[in-house]
Structure 1
């Protein structure tokens, strides 16, 4: 997931698998299912001194896809240094501009995160391009953020944008190749 934290007064991009703003980020999204289950199970531990109230809130989500996507986002935000003793997860989440957006259904968020986390998509300096192009795409269309077709259409939009960036010399060939791989996967997105 690529996100811009506007609420906390920073304009830094955070993406666990793609380079953004010229800075290589580590892949913090790679979390196996046992880690997810362990975090969720830990929220209901009998030792209340170690209960993370944000995990408790996330665990209340009845949709497993929403719960999984929120847990992944929460873990990435914590690893990125967000101090949840100042604000709740929900407060921080409301101030994020993300791709995919945090308001998208969990199934869509998880599917796109899987694309971005795929090994062949690692290391590209296009996180900011994905984020800004998505914001432009949404701003210029009446797209439904809950519709799978929106993200497929964005894949085509982003592919065209990458072509222009390469033609103008604003993106390296290797970043272009990874970007096109991501956009093809978005265009073929299924749940």
Structure 2
């Protein structure tokens, strides 16, 4: 297996190349949406990831699958980029390349990624309130929310923006209360 550092080293130049292509064709947001769809597909379909990562499967089979997944209506530049990844034997890095592309796109758009963990699914109003709070804290133009559910939280939310963590969960409040009581 490759290390995380090695993966980032390989993914970074390809993500920058993809962003460069997208910017030259004025397709950065369209590529971003396609990247999100592909990442979702890879995370929900382990068989697909195994097929793409398997070095013993011939390149032509991988190319056929990519063409089938993308369909005829897909952007030709993105399709060609993915086919080049197959040719260069870098398709196994597709997921980190797409993640890095989205990070570069967020940086370009002055958007921050806020990972929100809650006990239950958040309503639209709660998501808007969190978005406004994150904008106030970070000064970013936009916020991209990535919601996760953790039933162990009991209630409240944990918001992670970069290295900053805001723990407004009941579990966190109980933990802080217990620490105060034991230190008194």
TM-score (norm 2): 0.29
Structure with bigger helix share is 2
Larger Rg: 2
Structure with bigger strand share is 2
